[in-house]
Structure 1
Amino acid sequence: MFTCRNKSCGAEWALSDVDIHNEGQGLLFRCPMCGARNYVKPQKTKEGEVSYKQIQQVQEIPPSGKR
């Protein structure tokens, strides 16, 4: 279950309700209700399937492109 991080929204969504993709800043889903960005991190299960965990914030990439 994912929760929109937009304080005024806070809607809860199942994985089947959201589209996880990369908009150039890492994996995220946009809240279907308010459009807020909500970042996720992929994880492999013991069975080898990919699942996602919602994260608070994304590590910013420096302007030079170096980490």
Structure 2
Amino acid sequence: MFTCINQSCGTQWEPSDVVIKDEGQGPLFRCALCGARNYVKRIETKDGTVVYKQIEGKPLN
């Protein structure tokens, strides 16, 4: 479950409900309700499956 970081929004999203993309600042999804950027970290499991974990703030490149 992902949660929009915008304090006035806070909408919760299932991973299947968001589109994760890279807009030049690392992987993120935009909240469909308020448009806030919500950053995620890409993790590849031992079996090769890719999962995303939400992180606070903007990732350091």
Q: TM-score, normalised by structure 1?
A: 0.83
The answer to whether the aligner puts 1:3 opposite 2:7 as a matched pair is: no
The answer to whether the aligner puts 1:35 opposite 2:35 as a matched pair is: yes
Structure 1: gaps of 5 or more residues: 62-67
**Contact 2:39 / 2:59 at 8 angstroms: preserved in 1?**
no
Structure 2: gaps of 5 or more residues: none
Q: Distance in 1 between matches of 2:57 and 2:8?
A: 18
Residue of structure 2 equivalent to 1:23: 23
Deviation at 1:57, TM superposition (A): 1.5
Using the aligned pairs only, state the percent identity.
61
Residue of structure 2 equivalent to 1:53: 53
Indicate the RMSD between aligned Cα atoms, in angstroms.
Answer: 1.3
Q: How many residues align?
A: 61
Q: Distance in 1 between matches of 2:60 and 2:44?
A: 24
Q: Tell me which of the two structures has the higher relative contact order, counting C-alpha pairs closer than 8 angstroms and 6 or more residues apart.
A: 2
**Contact 2:39 / 2:55 at 8 angstroms: preserved in 1?**
yes
From the superposition, tell whether residues 51 and 59 of structure 1 become closer, same or farther in structure 2 (CA, over 3 Å). Answer: closer
